[in-house]
Chains A and B, each alone.
Chain A
């Protein structure tokens, strides 16, 4: 039996695809130079969820990643003497204990993907248990996935409930809700899923797992930022945003920050409100920081790959 949309959250406004693309393109036409660029680069670093999410992840690999999170670059490099640390390290639940040990006392958050990442195609009790265990093991942030199949089938109640229950399972940990926008097909769906997640208790909404293409795009991020803005105007709540996957260069990251600044403003220009889910972004940002300070273009050979 098809499930009617009975979930009792306010209707979502329609989203015009062409209009979203035009607006997103306009952010990308901003030219960020000099001190504004340095400020943006450092802000970007502070917002990165340094991520490793592969089947080959091992304690050794996660340790290396945590070391990178703590020591982004040689402080003797030009411009690198007062770098912020990244916002979080993001790993699979099995790697949480390893990362926890490495990150204790650093101020770097420990995020675990849970709820049957990346597809969510497991029974809900299993997914909730996955969440509880990750939190117990020391994760203070949980990146959950929603059941896209259920969402596309119109069973919004199910998705609402799974988010609400995951939120409950998180306890004190912050909940990031991954919509996997690459599977939602339309911006209208992205918008609806964003509203659903926020009403169900998300602390952050997040675009993607990184395993589906397209992952984060400026357009989909804009749709979600506008949903956050409307949710704030309606409820006063401040929900965070995390585009994840596909953001590889400083230039991209800066244009996301431009979008953030002009869509949500001051309150969101902070790692507590905005994250980049990325693995290779950090080094490009570091190279740009050194370039800004030294005036010379940089080589990847001088920045550790972890």
Chain B
């Protein structure tokens, strides 16, 4: 076999550093946001949050304990009883519109801080995360005074009460928006815990909520780790729990709520199949594969981490994919040209590296481009595992990193069987130019979001959530609204 001609992406012309320079006002220490005020934790505990690209401490943050959770739930209940659930719905909407506008006005600052605290490329925080945050508030703002039209039937919606919300570190502010906007639109009040590695944009949001003159106690933000989250989930005053995070923690929450009638929604892990048929628009499929797994360093629950390629185009597709991966820029999250930023934390980097080792030990062939990677900070090159078997750990387990496991298929039936052969069911991708096949395949994939000839698209009007062990309930759109209302 002769080697086919290759393209050379090691070019004489490359891009100079293009750092985003918008200033961020960052305090040295942040407190808990309870009843409209920043306060220290009652037990005085704090933790540091670092920039994963530099490993330098950004700020010290108060860590909420049980007493703080109790104070926050009390504040939320008071705000619910006295103000928020009583307020004319149109006024609730106006507050949310106001929040959306303020986020747009300060978008660049939030984007920079998101990239600093979490490691994601500024291109994404600027073009995806923060615009979607504002869009989410806009979308649900409009629902506030239209809830009577949202749910067919004679029963009328009413709010649930105090909602306890626990969010992850991969889309810190966006997940806060996904949780807060529908909850508030429906007349609920909230106690929200950001992730311990990425608390800063949520705390900046707290400042913004105060600027928006949101009544005290309507939103309370309590940084902390797992114990803080558990205290919120299990607080008897919390009527509804919304969690985004790992499947293990999701199951633990479901268990801990078994004796209660608390409602809960869970957005959990995934191991999405991205299926490329031989008749696909191949270059766009390559781009979709890249967006599917390398977006946000692969720290995406719906990442397309399992690639299934029809065998007849495998070599061609992989060659194209490898060429594309050679052009991905790994590095400073604040550089506007960075495609893959920093891995969120050292433990997460160690987890990914564990799988890189394991995948090779199990016999899969690992490939990475010769992309330079910064010496300091937590970074991982975009990685392919070729010749994987369905039983490979890199196929089975959610790695939550820029690691793609590649397998082949020969028939439609085989593709569907393998795609669905997983306990997860959050998302999937289908690439084919044939319309009828699109609808057949998207209906066969057992997942809550299926992207056909695209991947990793999000919109506030579009419901999101998983089948099977990927979660319970939906966020976004009309279906996400229902989770925050009771019909009576």
Scan A221-237; emit 1 where CB is below 8 A from any B CB, else 0: 00000100100111110
Q: Count of A residues near B, CB < 8 Å?
A: 36
Measured between alpha carbons, how far is A13 from B432 in the docked complex, in Å? 11
* Contact across chains for A265 and B5 when beta carbons are under 8 A apart: no
* Contact across chains for A19 and B284 when beta carbons are under 8 A apart: yes
State how many angstroms separate the Cβ of A40 from the closest Cβ of chain B. Answer: 7
Measured between alpha carbons, how far is A36 from B287 in the docked complex, in Å? 25
* Contact across chains for B8 and A267 when beta carbons are under 8 A apart: yes
State how many angstroms separate the Cβ of B2 from the closest Cβ of chain A. Answer: 10
The yes or no answer to B213 lying at the interface (CB within 8 A) is no
State how many angstroms separate the Cβ of A273 from the closest Cβ of chain B. Answer: 12
Scan B272-311; emit 1 where CB is below 8 A from any A CB, else 0: 0000000111111001100000000000000000000000
- Residue of B4, B11, B18, B282 touching A261 (CB-CB under 8 A): B11
The yes or no answer to A16 lying at the interface (CB within 8 A) is yes
Scan A211-255; emit 1 where CB is below 8 A from any B CB, else 0: 000000000000000100100111110000000000000000000
The yes or no answer to A32 lying at the interface (CB within 8 A) is yes
The yes or no answer to B149 lying at the interface (CB within 8 A) is no
The yes or no answer to A264 lying at the interface (CB within 8 A) is yes
Contact status of A13 and B282, CB under 8 A, knowing A29-B123, A266-B9, A267-B7: yes
- In this complex, which of A35, A40, A232, A261 has the most chain B Cβ atoms within 10 angstroms of its Cβ? A261
Q: Which residues of A contact B288 (CB under 8 A)?
A: 19
* Contact across chains for B281 and A36 when beta carbons are under 8 A apart: no
Closest to A30 in B: B337
Closest to B335 in A: A31
* Contact across chains for A29 and B127 when beta carbons are under 8 A apart: yes
Measured between alpha carbons, how far is A269 from B11 in the docked complex, in Å? 8
The yes or no answer to A300 lying at the interface (CB within 8 A) is no
Contact status of A233 and B283, CB under 8 A, knowing A36-B15, A36-B16: no
The yes or no answer to A98 lying at the interface (CB within 8 A) is no
* Contact across chains for A36 and B13 when beta carbons are under 8 A apart: yes
The yes or no answer to A70 lying at the interface (CB within 8 A) is no
Q: Which residues of A contact B10 (CB under 8 A)?
A: 265-266
- Residue of B5, B7, B12, B284 touching A16 (CB-CB under 8 A): B284
Measured between alpha carbons, how far is A260 from B284 in the docked complex, in Å? 16
Q: Count of B residues near A, CB < 8 Å?
A: 34
Measured between alpha carbons, how far is A36 from B14 in the docked complex, in Å? 6
State how many angstroms separate the Cβ of B159 from the closest Cβ of chain A. Answer: 39
The yes or no answer to A128 lying at the interface (CB within 8 A) is no
State how many angstroms separate the Cβ of B317 from the closest Cβ of chain A. Answer: 11
Closest to A38 in B: B16
Contact status of A14 and B279, CB under 8 A, knowing A19-B288, A31-B337, A233-B319: yes
The yes or no answer to A76 lying at the interface (CB within 8 A) is no
Measured between alpha carbons, how far is A19 from B286 in the docked complex, in Å? 10
* Contact across chains for A35 and B453 when beta carbons are under 8 A apart: no
- Residue of B16, B287, B323 touching A23 (CB-CB under 8 A): B287
- In this complex, which of A19, A32, A43 has the most chain B Cβ atoms within 10 angstroms of its Cβ? A19
The yes or no answer to A82 lying at the interface (CB within 8 A) is no
The yes or no answer to B390 lying at the interface (CB within 8 A) is no
In chain A, positions 4-39 with a C-beta closer than 8 Å to chain B are: 13-16, 18-20, 22-23, 29-37, 39
- Residue of B8, B16, B454 touching A266 (CB-CB under 8 A): B8
Scan B3-42; emit 1 where CB is below 8 A from any A CB, else 0: 0111111111111111000000000000000000000000
Q: Which residues of B contact A233 (CB under 8 A)?
A: 4-7, 316, 319
Closest to B316 in A: A233
The yes or no answer to B336 lying at the interface (CB within 8 A) is yes
- Residue of B16, B123, B283 touching A226 (CB-CB under 8 A): B283
* Contact across chains for A33 and B327 when beta carbons are under 8 A apart: no
Q: Which residues of A contact B5 (CB under 8 A)?
A: 232-233, 235-236
State how many angstroms separate the Cβ of A147 from the closest Cβ of chain B. Answer: 27
Q: Which residues of B contact A232 (CB under 8 A)?
A: 5, 7
State how many angstroms separate the Cβ of B20 from the closest Cβ of chain A. Answer: 9
Contact status of A32 and B16, CB under 8 A, knowing A16-B284, A229-B7, A232-B7: yes
* Contact across chains for A14 and B18 when beta carbons are under 8 A apart: no
State how many angstroms separate the Cβ of A269 from the closest Cβ of chain B. Answer: 6
* Contact across chains for B13 and A39 when beta carbons are under 8 A apart: yes
The yes or no answer to B433 lying at the interface (CB within 8 A) is yes
State how many angstroms separate the Cβ of A128 from the closest Cβ of chain B. Answer: 32
Measured between alpha carbons, how far is A183 from B8 in the docked complex, in Å? 33
* Contact across chains for A31 and B8 when beta carbons are under 8 A apart: no
Measured between alpha carbons, how far is A18 from B453 in the docked complex, in Å? 9
Q: Which residues of B contact A16 (CB under 8 A)?
A: 281, 284, 433, 453
- Residue of B17, B280, B282, B316 touching A33 (CB-CB under 8 A): B17
Contact status of A23 and B284, CB under 8 A, knowing A33-B18, A34-B16, A264-B7: yes
* Contact across chains for A31 and B287 when beta carbons are under 8 A apart: no
The yes or no answer to A262 lying at the interface (CB within 8 A) is yes
Contact status of A266 and B281, CB under 8 A, knowing A30-B337, A34-B16, A233-B5: no
Closest to A235 in B: B5
Contact status of A265 and B15, CB under 8 A, knowing A15-B281, A233-B319: no
Measured between alpha carbons, how far is A14 from B15 in the docked complex, in Å? 32
State how many angstroms separate the Cβ of A243 from the closest Cβ of chain B. Answer: 18
Q: Which residues of A contact B280 (CB under 8 A)?
A: 13-14
The yes or no answer to A144 lying at the interface (CB within 8 A) is no
Contact status of A266 and B284, CB under 8 A, knowing A31-B18, A32-B18, A233-B5: no
Q: Which residues of B contact A39 (CB under 8 A)?
A: 13
In chain A, positions 41-69 with a C-beta closer than 8 Å to chain B are: 43
The yes or no answer to A257 lying at the interface (CB within 8 A) is yes
Measured between alpha carbons, how far is A210 from B9 in the docked complex, in Å? 31
Closest to B11 in A: A266
- Residue of A19, A234, A265 touching B11 (CB-CB under 8 A): A265
Q: Which residues of A contact B282 (CB under 8 A)?
A: 13
A-B contact pairs, 10 of them (CB 8 A): A16-B453, A18-B453, A19-B287, A36-B14, A36-B16, A233-B6, A261-B11, A266-B9, A267-B7, A267-B8
Given contacts A14-B280, A33-B17, 14 further A-B contacts (CB under 8 A): A13-B280, A16-B433, A19-B453, A29-B336, A31-B337, A32-B16, A229-B323, A232-B5, A233-B7, A261-B9, A264-B7, A267-B8, A269-B11, A269-B13
3 closest A-B pairs by beta carbon, nearest first, are A19-B284, A31-B18, A31-B336
